[in-house]
Amino acid sequence: MIETPIEIEATPLAKRSVSGVPTTFRLTVSQAVVRYLAGLRTQIDGEIVPLFGGIWAIFGHGNVAGVGEALYHYREKFPTYRGQNEQGMAHAAIAFAKANFRRRMMAVTTSIGPGATNLVTAAALAHVNRLPVLFLPGDIFISGDSGAVLQQVENFGDGNVSANDCFRPVSRYFERIVHPAQLLSALPRAISVLTDAAQCGPVTLALPQDVQAMAYDYPADFFDAPILCPRALPPSQTDLAAAVRAVMGAKSPVIISGGGVLYSEGATAALKNFAELHGVPVCETQAGKSALPWDHPLQLGSVGVTGSPAANDLVSEADLVLAAGTRLQDFTTGSNTLFTKATVISLNVQLFDTLKNRGIPLRADARLGFEALSAALPHWRADAAWTQRAQDEANVWRATVDSIFAGKRLGAGKLPYDGEIIGAVQRSSPDSTEKDIAVCAAGTLPAELHKLWRTSLPGGYHMEYGYSCMGYEIAGGLGVKMARPDREVIVMVGDGSYLMLNNEIATSVMLGKKLIIVLLDNRGYGCINRLQQACGAAPFNNLFENCLSAPDGFPHIDFAANAISLGARGEHVANLSELEEALQRARSSDRTYLISIDTDPNRTTDDGGWWWEVAVPETSPREQVIDAHAAYVAGKEKQRR
């Protein structure tokens, strides 16, 4: 029997004024945290919704008695979800925020010790990708009465350090709560960071075991939180004037659309309007892909190391690059070799990012930045020949993708490669580009999906490539499905990433959040195996066949059986036609469905791409390494400095 949740505010411990209105509530720290978070609201498309979609929790001795007790009483107002691994829970929470374009988020609570440190990788992932998540790990006793406690990491030089101090470098904001009254400032500060477009990222509030259970008379109005609405930063007149002067002199501009365009409300429409009005072609980063429909005439596709030939050809010759909402990481800039001759305008809410690549800073919300630029440039357009060239090259690239999807590069007797499988996935539904959301994170697939996945849906491409974290895929797919239950979520994952973290399949079944998982089995770490050889080294310790093994050799893993053992459905297919048939079964399934298929670890989409800096040894017994080092030195000479 499920008990009725207790209304904590209705307890006799509330102090009331003469009129009977509570003036304070006596709550534990844990109860106050949960009540505060449960009461937060935001507005999305005119609808008032909870800011937090709930909390992920694995209980242990560091949080079960305090936070766990509070969550029980609020379980209907503030849902608690249980995962199978702390890192997986955090990935799901982060993906939920990303799929909601950072307008909603989730919290994660763990015990002390390994439960907490299992979150650190996910914290780094959220930090790199500028995504909001609230971590509430248990911590050691502040009193110290118990001496060294179970799972405590003792620092010989600092008695105030605990394992949770690992979160400091990977949190946008960190605070250890050592007194109940501290919440009165810590919680508002935490929420301000989580909801700020420029500062957005992970927040950690470490909760010592004894402090979690302490009671305090909290002011009643502390819990009267206003509706939180995103603040859009307009450009300053100084920044705008400098950007306008740069654009006025440009004839062959290109827009690089980053994740900030998706996170800014209304910016995808503003991007489209700007591109069409001024004849400027658009290319997209991993985080920014899906900001413009795949078949828009000015859509050049992916840019950079994993870029399309259309995008890289034009951006390498552009005289102006308008980098919108991108942090300009090395995969976007080709390690600073791709657009070395262009003037760069950095349209970004974060000042840190606007100063990269010696760019002209245009610090602003993406939508407001596009609109202000366009209004200040009523008669300016890119050179007509440049716009036409962009449209022609975009059409050529789309035709190339058609041929890849059709399997025209698949010879007799060959295993398919990632590009052909992506085509099969998209062919399996006539409205795939309108409804499917592809989820991925690491390995070979990010390059192939960045180039080839087609979507007309903002958010129809969900890639974690800022931290490139193997193991994100399935847990991340679960978070996406929780955010977008009306969409078909297609998790595409390699066998290497699957083996790192697959147990949230069980959680997806438990919660009734169906995923379609397409597992590409190339029998090892195919991406790094190719990179290893590109750097002149011999194949070693990446593919199973090149690893140290017992006499019986490497394992032959039945991934479908593994998924079935976790409560899902699954099957292995032998070829592309069987894959398409299996995808129909998966789409009609009522629960998570895994399809595995063997793939070629060596073939990739050679079209496009760009140089990427990977340091190669100056000296080696292998002649191939010496040759690769010479190529590396030649590449570095092209870097923008």
**Judging by DSSP bridges, how do beta strands 215-219 and 202-208 pair with one another?**
unpaired
Q: How far is CA 43 from CA 50, 265, 291, in A?
A: 9, 12, 22
The widest CA-to-CA distance across the chain, in whole angstroms, is: 88
Single-letter residue type at 59: F
The stretch 89-114 carries a mean pLDDT of 97
> Closest by alpha carbon to 254, among 197, 350, 333, 327?
333
- pLDDT at position 1 is 32
- pLDDT at position 206 is 98
Please tell me whether residue 283 adopts helix, strand or coil conformation: strand
Confidence check: pLDDT of 2 > 50: no
Contacts of 581 by beta carbon, 8 Å cutoff, 6+ apart: 573
SS3 letters across 510-558: HHCCCCEEEEEECCECHHHHHHHHHCCCCCCCCEHHHCCCCCCCCCCCC
Over residues 225-265, the pLDDT tens digits come to 889 988 899 999 999 999 999 999 999 999 999 999 999 99
pLDDT over 70 for what percent of the chain?
Answer: 97
Confirm if 365 and 233 have CB atoms less than 8 A apart: yes
> Closest by alpha carbon to 55, among 88, 78, 27, 29?
78
Please tell me whether residue 140 adopts helix, strand or coil conformation: coil
Contacts of 593 by beta carbon, 8 Å cutoff, 6+ apart: 514, 515, 516, 517, 568, 569, 570, 585, 586
Confidence check: pLDDT of 266 > 50: yes
The residue assigned the tokens 């069987």 is 578
- pLDDT at position 148 is 84
- pLDDT at position 412 is 66
Task: Compute the mean pLDDT over every residue in the chain, rounded to the nearest whole number.
Answer: 95
Confidence check: pLDDT of 10 > 50: no
Structure tokens at 197: 């477009």
Single-letter residue type at 9: E
- pLDDT at position 17 is 63
- pLDDT at position 302 is 98
> Closest by alpha carbon to 462, among 450, 444, 448?
450
Confidence check: pLDDT of 4 > 80: no
Confirm if 162 and 112 have CB atoms less than 8 A apart: yes
Beta-bridge partners for 174: 204
Confirm if 451 and 306 have CB atoms less than 8 A apart: yes
Structure tokens at 603: 């073939």
The stretch 261-276 carries a mean pLDDT of 98
pLDDT category, 28, cuts 50, 70, 90? very high
Q: How far is CA 55 from CA 71, 217, 469, in A?
A: 9, 25, 22
Give the Cα separation of 392 and 509 in Å (integer).
46
The stretch 448-458 carries a mean pLDDT of 98
- pLDDT at position 120 is 98
Structure tokens at 68: 């766990």
pLDDT over 90 for what percent of the chain?
Answer: 90
Give the Cα separation of 67 and 58 in Å (integer).
11
Q: How far is CA 414 from the centre of its chain?
A: 33
pLDDT category, 146, cuts 50, 70, 90? confident
Please tell me whether residue 29 adopts helix, strand or coil conformation: helix
- pLDDT at position 18 is 59
Q: Rounded to two decimals, what is the model's pTM?
A: 0.96
Confidence check: pLDDT of 9 > 90: no
The stretch 153-166 carries a mean pLDDT of 90
Q: How many helices (H) and strands (E) does the chain have?
A: 25, 23
Count of C-beta atoms within a 10 Å radius of residue 3: 8
The residue assigned the tokens 């903002």 is 458
Confirm if 493 and 444 have CB atoms less than 8 A apart: no
> Closest by alpha carbon to 163, among 82, 91, 86?
86
> Closest by alpha carbon to 308, among 281, 328, 278?
281
Least confident of 12-21, 115-124, 344-353: 12-21
Please tell me whether residue 291 adopts helix, strand or coil conformation: coil
Least confident of 352-361, 397-406, 411-420, 630-639: 411-420
The stretch 116-121 carries a mean pLDDT of 97
Over residues 60-82, the pLDDT tens digits come to 999 999 999 999 999 999 999 99
- pLDDT at position 6 is 43
> Closest by alpha carbon to 441, among 402, 391, 480, 394?
480
Length in residues, the chain? 641
Over residues 468-478, the pLDDT tens digits come to 999 999 999 99
pLDDT category, 144, cuts 50, 70, 90? confident
Please tell me whether residue 438 adopts helix, strand or coil conformation: strand
Confirm if 569 and 589 have CB atoms less than 8 A apart: yes
**Phi and psi angles of residue 432, each rounded to the nearest 5 degrees, phi first:** -55, -40
Confidence check: pLDDT of 12 > 70: no
- Tell me the H-state helices in 406-525: 418-427, 432-435, 445-452, 472-483, 495-500, 504-511
Secondary structure (DSSP) of 111-133? -STHHHHTTHHHHHHHHHHT--E
**Judging by DSSP bridges, how do beta strands 343-348 and 360-363 pair with one another?**
parallel
Over residues 487-516, the pLDDT tens digits come to 999 999 999 999 999 999 999 999 999 999
Structure tokens at 442: 């690491």
Please tell me whether residue 38 adopts helix, strand or coil conformation: helix
Structure tokens at 594: 């895994």
pLDDT category, 204, cuts 50, 70, 90? very high
**Phi and psi angles of residue 28, each rounded to the nearest 5 degrees, phi first:** -75, 165
